[in-house]
A and B are shown apart, each in its own frame.
Chain A
């Protein structure tokens, strides 16, 4: 993105709050503006309103974020002023010279403190609660009939998404008065609409282009920085550009997770689960953004892969003086999976039953789909027991249990832990539609314009394969265009693992429409009935049924149609909308735990992931690899932390424990395909499965290793210190 040549562009540098909670008394930019061509803007120069929160049900609309902090800052990283300069170095020099006069306020760092409502981030709201979901009513009889009831508290550590490309944005006002914005984003079309709404523009006045984007993971959606860059281009009448530094990105790019989970699970002595309650306290950070809403997805997925007759869910999202929380790979579902999978293991431990066996006794059977859970999700298709059995066989479960027994008998310093996680997750979670348009090009190839976006997912390949297969073209002859709102009529972008199932299906249906149009044209040329024209997919020819010699290749058809000025007839668009789909799988982790230092080493991770029919298994497997790495990172390494004043302690890649290749093993992935009936491809989403499945598997494995020491839980990340603490507590 930063490679974009933009002649004469000014550089934007944001002045960000160094305090977590304070009122702004004044900003003195005199010294900064004494540098050559430096200009400093503050909220007083702005004529814009508040950004967000997104119009999501239940989210307090009064906790949105001003584009520049007005009077008050609410987290370290909140934007106070903007430096405009000719180049990056001058911007950095000037930023140091801007003096901000703060009047510090007490910082609210934990959700526990926020919930007390003693210090309010938005005094006018009268509370720190940004959203509630589920039911505050408790059924006194929920656990009636249960022989055994277990409960526990879990932490879903706050994570920094860390796409390797930091955000970048540039904008230019054209001579026609239209603005072009180049954004490092996952959602160009949605960004255009939100930009237009925030800036008070007609969307037609805006073109959003998303060039090659270096990873997003849910975090790269329109935020205040991009709005400010576009606003500046308009106000200054000069092209402007901004690229975030990593230290800036660590506090300014929204974080993910940051939830406290409390579970209670009850069942019979023979291992049948009867009732489950899950309570979530979600940290929203300084402003109510998407994070305030994510517990709704946690609640929806509370039941996991199990047939649980009674479920209660309740959540409360509160604002704190920390970086705002938004979507990050998994977005609300890892929490659901973490809670139910830990609950099942705790239940199994209480019963003295093998955790695999307890799972078998509670799975939703494979002939019970579609299945509606007590937490109100309608699962499309699944074979949960099949996934677990495959994973158990692949890992060699019985042999591992033998090895574990041996080490326990030897009282070895390094103990072995085996952890199972059976997960189901929701993709295309809010039943969206996606746009695809296919046209035959002059050379007889096909061009797909998709409203979906790819920032590393390889849709350019997967979607080309889909179109090529329908039209009988070599995959190299299909070109995929994306990410330019002027070229692609509409789109929703990429998040929530929805691209192939809706964007890919839209591409397929548009290709099918083009094929029908081609048959009509061929019928004209061959003086036959369109109904008699068939495609020979192997040869890439359309011919009369029963007589392959009477036909025409795509290349010949295109050149003839082109000469006849009829090529435009070979173009079709399609919008495809679908209900959510529910990928699932089983992960088994094998860890070694040094019971003296607490250090955990992940030895193996077997991942069975079923995302329906796979269009491109190589790319799908790559998604699993990356997803699993992120899930393991959450289980063992990463945690974004603040001190009691709200100062970030992990604001660089030195402090934040993003694992390297040396910290992770190779993954053992096992494919399984149970098609969904919801789309013609049979495909579900695969982008987040690995993350959702891996964290509880590793977590369960660590606790499993320590069971002989009386350890019932280890807080995540299960790093050496947290394991050591759990061992100390168990001893006490």
Chain B
């Protein structure tokens, strides 16, 4: 299928992209395009202007300082998978990236685009939430940092203002696990469970269990209070709103969350 017609501009810099977004309230950013273009082909999304930031190669990097890792928003999934810094200090990101879509998608898709798209089933979104990542955005008023817990505001919605461009993602050095249940290999997560040890405490994140990636706070609290993995995991579906769709019912998702959370805790 063919998207509705739109105007196209390639931005030469983040500041130029910010300015271009200001030209049109129906403008959208185009990074790797692997979240946006499929929705445009089905005409679920019909921006009037696409601002292409895909060539801003200065947003493709992974660097580490003493306790944090900074990831450029345009770093592609395939790059996350093979990045030596991530492998050493936060391997769960590359491990989860390897489970996204398929190789072709991973060659083009970017961490920033994927996270900003705001799919409740987003693997990387769930991991960033679990890691208490910080998301750096640049807009007309300059740069600001958004905590992951405040970033995901609803299904396919996030805390970015219309003219803001997500530029960098900062995560702590941490050990973690991501368990993804899928009906078949290239699918979105039926349920995804992330576990990571951050500042001595185990965090648990859930994909596809509500309108956004979620944290399983009652599991975290129970586990911190000394509950066994099985007892803590019994709370995995607390305060969630698992969707029902062709890949699973709500009840089955709730059950899966409990099994996967227990397994993730046993690994932690």
Which residues on A are within 8 Å of B, measured CB to CB? Answer: 88-89, 92-93, 96, 245, 247, 596-597, 599, 637, 641, 649-650, 652, 654-660, 662-663, 719-721, 724-725
Contacts and interface: CB of A to CB of B under 8 A. Distances in A.
A637 B1 contact: no
The binding surface of chain B is classed by DSSP as: loop
Nearest to A725: B252
Contacts of B183: 637, 657, 719-720
B204 to A, nearest CB: 17
Given A649-B245, A655-B246, A721-B248, A247 B184 contact: no
A92 B1 contact: yes
Nearest to B186: A660
Interface residues of B, number: 25
Contact of B2 (A92, A656, A719, A721): A92
Closest 4 CB pairs of A and B: A662-B185, A649-B246, A721-B252, A663-B184
A1 to B, nearest CB: 18
B248 A93 contact: no
Chain A interface main SS type: loop
Q: Which of A652, A655, A662, A721 has the most CB of B within 10 A?
A: A721
B144 interface: no
Contact of A247 (B1, B246, B249, B260): B1
B160 to A, nearest CB: 25
Interface in B1-48: 1-2, 4-5, 42-43
B248 A657 contact: no
A8 to B, nearest CB: 21
Contacts of B1: 92, 245, 247
Given A89-B5, A92-B43, A658-B184, 13 more contacts: A245-B1, A596-B259, A597-B260, A599-B181, A637-B183, A649-B245, A656-B246, A657-B183, A657-B187, A660-B102, A663-B185, A720-B183, A721-B249
Nearest to A96: B43
Contacts of A641: 246
A637 B190 CA distance: 14
A657 B256 contact: no
B107 interface: no
Nearest to A719: B183
A724 B255 contact: yes
18 contacts: A92-B43, A96-B4, A245-B1, A637-B183, A637-B184, A641-B246, A652-B42, A654-B187, A656-B246, A657-B247, A658-B184, A660-B186, A662-B186, A719-B183, A720-B190, A720-B248, A721-B249, A721-B252
A660 B246 contact: no
Interface in B201-242: none
Nearest to A651: B246
Max chain B CB contacts within 10 Å: which of A96, A658, A660, A720?
A720
Given A720-B252, A724-B255, A597 B181 contact: yes
Contacts of B255: 724
Interface of B: 1-2, 4-5, 42-43, 102, 181, 183-188, 190, 245-249, 252, 255-256, 259-260
A267 to B, nearest CB: 37
A654 B190 CA distance: 12
Given A247-B42, A637-B184, A660-B186, A88 B252 contact: no
Contacts of A659: 184
Residue of B43, B190, B252 with most partner-chain A CB within 10 A = B252
A31 to B, nearest CB: 14
Contacts of B256: 597, 720
A662 B98 CA distance: 14
Contacts of A89: 2, 5
A660 B246 CA distance: 18
B106 to A, nearest CB: 14
A447 B5 CA distance: 50
A572 to B, nearest CB: 50
Given A597-B256, A662-B185, A724-B255, A93 B5 contact: yes
Contacts of A96: 4, 43
A716 to B, nearest CB: 14
Contacts of B181: 597, 599, 720
